[in-house]
Amino acid sequence: MIGDRVGLVVIGRNEGERLKASLRSIAGLRHIAYVDSGSTDGSQDFARSLGIEVIALPVPPKFTAARARNAGIAALAAAAPDLEFIQMIDGDCTIAPDWIETAVAALDADPRLGGTFGRRSEIAPERSIYNRMCDIEWAVPAGPVLATGGDAMFRVAALGAVHGYDPSLIAGEEPDMCLRMGRLGWRFACIDAPMSRHDANILRFGQWWRRARRAGFAAASHVARHGRKSLPGDVAQVRRMLFWAALLPALIVAAILCSLIDARFALLAVPVLAVYALQLCRLARMERPRWPDKRAAWRAGGFRLLHQFAALTGLASYWFDRLRGHDRGIIEYR
């Protein structure tokens, strides 16, 4: 039976009603471990009321998703050592009704497939432009991929081969683990099937900024850790941050400072500003098919450009922490 072959690890921290929906979506399955990172909203009691094993993640060290997922994997291994697959679920997500069977079938069909995921969609993309941007971000084309996201089903053998997630990472733990699996010959794929529904609930600019900052932190951490063997997407992200949010602004500042000596130097900023304008036009044109009207596409293009500045603060935070020799813990947007 499928239920005897698959375990589920749910992680959460003060998810409230979202966690309740997540656990209800999988309550009929047999092997579930909920790992809680210091919630104060009754999450642990609710999980126990459904008969789900609860692992309270201790501190120190600091709470991280990597630590939580590893704790869930260890709990399932102890309770059911014969499990073949483990589905990872974030506590703000619900699992689609047929996903578990679909993922198991894909993993059974390809013995070298170490992990797989499907379509994650937002529960309320209409509530804000930020939710809508998340929904677009989740729309990964079906086919081979180099890494998964937070929600994914992994083969237990592949998890064991790399000893799970790296607990020292406070962001970007999924691509790091997948890269290490890939070096051992494991492959990954996105399936054209609904997998989970996510409730980002990002309604304010500050929430969006912190999420973008976390993405920059994760990309910087990944590239610093893996160098030339990094995932191409993270390398490209770091390059975009440095170009759009560091190099070009530096040129504008240099032009302004030089204009204090000779006003004509201010004209040097004009070509740089023109580059920004052209990039905004390009991004808006790329976004147009995904949005209902041109105005929304222009706003989305603007956010994509602004994302580089928010992400750069994450990159700076990563290197500042590294130079200081310690980190400040998980970067949350809730």
pLDDT in tens, 1-33: 787 899 999 999 999 999 999 999 998 899 999
Which of 17, 7, 68 minimizes the C-alpha distance to 46? Answer: 17
For the stretch 246-265, pLDDT in tens is 999 999 999 999 988 888 88
| Residues 37, 309: Cα–Cα separation, whole Å | 30
What does the alpha-carbon distance between residue 186 and residue 158 come to, in Å, rounded to a whole number?
7
Report field, pTM of the whole predicted structure over 0.75: yes
Q: Are the beta carbons of 147 and 178 closer than 8 angstroms?
A: yes
SS3 242: helix
Q: Is the dihedral of CA 74, 78, 79, 85 positive or negative?
A: positive
- Contact in structure between 240 and 225 (CB atoms under 8 Å): no
Parallel, antiparallel or unpaired: strands 113-122 and 187-198: parallel
* Contacts for 53 with CB less than 8 Å, ≥ 6 apart: 32, 33, 34, 75, 79
Q: Is residue 120 a contact partner of residue 156, using CB atoms and an 8 Å limit?
A: no
What pLDDT score was predicted for residue 83?
96
d(CA 129, CA 299): 9
Q: Which of 192, 208, 210 is CA-nearest to residue 119?
A: 192
pLDDT given at position 109: 97
pLDDT band of 326, cuts 50, 70, 90? low
Burial 186-217 (b: 16+ CB within 10 A, else e): bbbbbbebbbbbbbbbbeeeebbbbbbbbbbb
Adjacent-strand bridge partners of 9: 33, 88
The answer to whether 283 and 301 are in contact (CB under 8 A) is yes
d(CA 87, CA 289): 33
Give pLDDT, residue 333. 33
| Distance between CA atoms of residues 175 and 217, nearest Å | 13
Span 108-120, average pLDDT: 97
The DSSP bridge pattern shows strands 31-36 and 113-122 to be unpaired
Which tens digits make up the pLDDT trace of 197-222?
999 999 999 999 999 999 999 999 99
Q: Could you tell me what percent of the chain has a pLDDT over 90?
A: 84
pLDDT at 191 over 60: yes
Distance CA 3, CA 33 (A): 14
Q: Coil, helix or strand for 307?
A: helix
With a cut of 70, say whether residue 332 has pLDDT above it: no
Tokens 């994997």 correspond to 73
Structure tokens of 48? 């126990």
For residue 50, give the 3-state DSSP assignment: coil
- Give residue-wise pLDDT tens across range 25-79: 998 899 999 999 999 999 999 999 999 999 999 888 788 999 999 999 999 999 9
The separation between the first and the last C-alpha atoms of the chain, rounded to the nearest angstrom, is 38
pLDDT band at 334 (very low <50, low <70, confident <90, very high): very low
pLDDT at residue 260 in the model: 86
Domains of the chain, first to last: 2-202 (3.90.550.10), 229-324 (no CATH)
